[in-house]
Structure 1
Amino acid sequence: MHDIRAIRENPEAFDRDLERRGLAPLSAELIALDDARKGAVSAAQAAQERRNALSKEIGAAKKAKDEARATELMAEVARLKEEAPALEAAQTEAARILDERLAAIPNRPKEEVPPGADEHGNVEYRRFDASRERLAQGRQHFELGEAIGLMDFEAAAKLSGSRFVVLKGQLARLERALGQFMLDLHTTEHGYTEVVPPVLVRDEAMFGTAQLPKFRDDQFAAGDGFWLIPTAEVPLTNLVRENILAEDELPLRFTALTPCFRAEAGAAGRDTRGMLRQHQFNKVELVSITAPEKSAEEHERMLACAEAVLKKLDLTYRVMTLCTGDMGFASQKTYDIEVWVPGQQTYREISSCSVCGDFQARRMNARYRAREGRAVNFVHTLNGSGVAVGRALIAVMENYQNPDGSVTIPSVLQPYMGGLNRIEGPNT
């Protein structure tokens, strides 16, 4: 959500930032809507002030025993009283129109975000090469999983349709191990507090993190005003909604392992085979709530925490700074971590870490009281994948595959697998 006062103070800068997002200038339209809101507020206030003044005049007229004047004044008060609901409704409607328009506009990119229209404008930030020899090519995860009988897409389709999977046996355990490993890492080494949040949330929570109203078609509605969460970012970030925190409480760092649900409305025909793009998947989420001057530093810290997962799994990856045309709606700046998958002979996104500034905080009315001066300001919010569990499973399977169809288990996961170091193929 944008601050209309900031737009009024520097409309040219606002329009330049929108242009970087590929949008037309909007400051003039927004200022006009705010003028209409202010006009409605002024009209309602003027009517109330006139009623207050008339009340005093009525008292004076009655004191002077001027009944004719008092009657005339009382008639005007009655008229103003009749008009009051319409004036209040006009004020409410003008504020609603402005708020809806502001809520539909994406966040302003930071100055250092590279320009670009789509993913082709993204810029490599850094990369990590695994100590193991990188496989240049290999079988895809679904070929490996189906061959050993532990990954069943047909059974899932009978249960739920396309874009679902049933994992069995040691592959199911490996996915569970990955999630537990990530949670342990983030809570014991990175200082995040583990949370088990609801996976059903109301409209207000989805609005707060900007899934609603713009991305309604990408979500799963659960009925009775509930939505299935597309990511734990939604409940974790909304933990501070409508709160005023003390600056000494910041930063807050939360992590959660939850199922995530996405309609993938715009993904027809993309990644139809395998687990890369599912309606339901598990993900470890990272969320930080900070003071404004600390959010850039926290963004780099969050990225490093997500990278640590892949380093400990000894997986080759690269970090990309997303360009203005590829960033998410609520983001000021985003890093994507892309892991090497030899089955496709390319890098695929496994984590996205974003700083949102006060964009979400304004939608949630999440604030903090400064240590000095006691001023109340909006917090900054950040979110990132730490990381997507299903995609980590894909990366492990494809990078640790053996010629006989078995999959070696990374050493860091073996304690979570009861000491098992290999998932055997059918001919091993």
Structure 2
Amino acid sequence: MHDIKWIRDNPEAFDAGLARRGLEPVSPLLMALDERRRASQSELNALQSRRNEASKAIGKLKREGRDASAQMEEVATIKARIAELDADNAAVDVELQDRLAAIPNLPDADVPDGPDEDHNVEIRRWGEPRAFDFEPKDHVDLGAPLGMDFETAGRLSGARFVILKDQIARLERALVQFMLELHTTEHGYREVNTPALVRDEALFGTAQLPKFAEDLFKVEGGFWLIPTAEVTLTNMVSGQILEEAALPLRFTAFTQCFRSEAGSAGKDTRGMIRMHQFEKVELVSIVHPDRSREELDRKTACAEAVLKRLGLPFRTVALCTGDLGFASHRTHDLEVWLPAQGRYREISSCSNVGAFQARRMDARFRPVPPDGGKAKGTAPVHTLNGSGLAVGRTLVAVLENYQNADGSVTVPEALRPYMGGLDRLRADV
């Protein structure tokens, strides 16, 4: 959500930021609504003051036994006008808030310009893709003998679902344990177990609603299934005023995630790349506004560390304005090498959202003055989120990068302590 006061003071800068996203200017419309609301509120305040004065005069006249009919008529007129203004204010405020809620975040000055993902800018690469002396299989062909079952899942739930059994299920669990332990013991994140069902307000707070309702699953009772633990972890501070000394807050959670993939018909229909139900280890930070830029670099490094420990080649890219998510101010994507596809695929997206979600959630902190005196007033916190990592896609990457000619899969050394020392997945085990 954008700050209408900032837009009022910086209309040209606001529209210039939208233009970088390929959007038309909207500040004149927003400012007109804001001016109408403020003018109405000013008249409302004056009428309320006059009503109070007239009411006092009525009381005095009645106590003196004098005629107060004129003043009573005036109060009645004022009350009717106040009711009109209250209704108008409410309508204008709803329209203004709805319009603000539908506008994406402004891109950071450092975000590269470009219309689509082809204009994303590579920041760095790590690791060299393996040179195979045989034709590498994709994860579907590798996984089927090891316990990856799309057929049974299809009978139960339809397309874009999978059942993992035996060695594959154990490998997935090992990945989760490895990621959580790394982030909690070395990266300073607090592990949290959150609900998978949330109300409208939580999804509005993190900007999934109202714009992305078709990408979500809604269930009876007014609940939605979470598309990511970003929703629950970030909303842990909704409606709160934090002390500056409490910042930063860093949370991690492993959850099931649910997405309808409404706009992905025909995309990645084979295998586990794009599922309706998938697992993810999420990383969320709540920080001081002056620290969010460096926190994005820190969070990106935490996600990169998972891939490095697993020995998976990857590259890190800065998303351009045309590929930037709705709520994002700046985003770094991690793309892991998949041998069967012969290309890098997204496995983590780390974003600095700035104050965009905090305003929607009313999450604030009390800034300490530079002189160290008593804190005065409040300001929105900055929020960041990222995958650390998407578990299913990490499983895919491990299978494809560590496959052997006989169809077995070598277990990365980092995962062996979580696999009871097992060093290889074999179909005949």
Q: TM-score range by the shorter chain?
A: over 0.9
Alignment of 1:202-351 (within 5 A): 202-351=199-348
Give the Cα separation in 1 of the matches to 2:43 and 2:274.
Answer: 53
2:384 maps to a residue whose letter is L
Residue of structure 1 aligned with 2:109, choices 105, 108, 111? 111
Task: Return the offset for 1:18.
Answer: 0.2
Note the C-alpha offset of 1:371: 2.4
Residues 40 and 94 of structure 1 are in contact (CA less than 8 Å); yes or no, is this contact kept in structure 2? no
Give distance in 2, aligned partners of 1:53 and 1:121. 64
Q: Partner letter of residue 143 of structure 2?
A: G
User: Relative to 1, partners in 2 of residues 1:97 and 1:165: Cα closer, same or farther, differing over 3 Å?
Assistant: same
Query: Take 1:3 and 1:45, find their aligned partners in 2: how far apart are those partners?
Result: 23
Does 1:387 find its partner at 2:384? no
Q: How many matched pairs?
A: 423
TM-score by length of 2: 0.96
Cα distance in 1 between the residues matched to 2:132 and 2:286: 39
| Equivalent in the alignment of 1:36 | 36
Question: CA offsets per residue over residues 363-421 of structure 1, 9 Å max, x none?
Answer: 00001111225131110000000000000000000000000111000011011011110
Asked if 1:152 corresponds to 2:152, the answer is no
Q: How far is 1:64 from its partner?
A: 6.0
Summarize deviations over 1:118-151 as a string: whole Å, max 9, x none: 1011000011015x845496111001112x1511
SS of structure 1 residue aligned to 2:354: coil
Aligned to 1:368: 365
Amino acid at match of 1:247: E
Q: 2:413 aligns with which of 411, 414, 420?
A: 411
Deviations 1:6-52 (A, max 9, x none): 11111110010000011001110110111121123223223212211
With 81-90 and 303-312 compared, the bigger mean Cα shift is at: 81-90
- Structure 2 Cα separation of the partners of residues 76 and 52 of structure 1: 11
Confirm or deny: 8 A CA contact 1:404 1:425 kept in the other structure.
no
Look up the equivalent residue of 2:246 and give its one-letter code. Answer: E
So what's the TM-score if we normalise by structure 1?
Answer: 0.96
Q: Unaligned 5+ residue runs, structure 1?
A: none
Matched to 2:4, the amino acid is I
* Corresponding position: 1:189 with 2:191: no
Identity of aligned residues (%): 59
Paired residue for 1:85? 83
- Of the structure 1 ranges 257-266 and 81-90, higher mean CA displacement relative to structure 2 is found in 81-90
- Secondary structure, counterpart of 1:2 in structure 2: coil
Q: Distance in 1 between matches of 2:403 and 2:66?
A: 99
8 Å CA contact 2:146–2:427 kept in 1: the answer is: no
Q: Distance in 2 between matches of 1:23 and 1:257?
A: 36
CA distance in 2, matches of 1:157, 1:43: 63
Q: In structure 2, how many angstroms separate the alpha carbons of the residues matched to 1:149 and 1:341? A: 19
Other structure's SS at 1:260 match: strand
The separation in 1 between residues aligned to 2:152 and 2:120, in whole angstroms, is 38
SS across alignment from 2:175: helix
Q: How much has 1:200 moved relative to structure 2?
A: 0.5
Helix, strand or coil at the partner of 1:245: strand
Could you tell me which amino acid in structure 2 is paired with residue 374 of structure 1? A
* 2:13 alignment partner in structure 1: 13
Shift of residue 63, structure 1, vs aligned partner:
5.9
Task: Please say if residues 107 and 330 of structure 1, whose CA atoms lie closer than 8 Å, have aligned partners that are also in contact.
Answer: yes
* Contact 1:135–1:399 (Cα < 8 Å) also in 2: no
Are 2:315 and 2:335, in contact at CA under 8 Å, matched by a contact in 1? Answer: yes
- Letter in structure 1 aligned against 2:105: N
DSSP 3-state at the match of 1:158: helix
Asked if the contact 1:134–1:316 (Cα under 8 Å) also holds between the matched residues in 2, the reply is no
**CA–CA separation in structure 2 for the residues paired with 1:270 and 1:255:** 29
- Return the letter of the residue paired with 1:8: R
Q: Distance in 2 between matches of 1:249 and 1:346?
A: 42
Greater CA deviation, 344-353 or 58-67?
58-67
SS in 1 for 2:56: helix
Aligned residue number for residue 46 of structure 2: 46
CA distance in 1 between counterparts of 2:130 and 2:338 reads: 13
Contact 1:194/1:254 (<8 A) preserved: yes
The answer to whether the 8 A contact 1:195-1:256 is kept is yes
Alignment of 1:67-82 (within 5 A): 67=67, 70-82=68-80
Which residue does the alignment assign to 1:24?
Answer: 24
CA positional deviation for 1:90: 1.6
Alignment match, 2:97: 99
Query: CA separation in 1, counterparts of 2:12 and 2:80?
Result: 42
What secondary structure does 1:278 align onto? coil
Per-residue Cα deviation, 1:171-201 (whole angstroms, up to 9, x for no partner): 0010111011000000000000000001101
Task: Name the SS of the counterpart of 1:419 in structure 2.
Answer: coil
Give the equivalent residue in structure 2 for 1:199.
Answer: 196
Partners in 1 of 2:83 and 2:182 — Cα distance?
Answer: 57
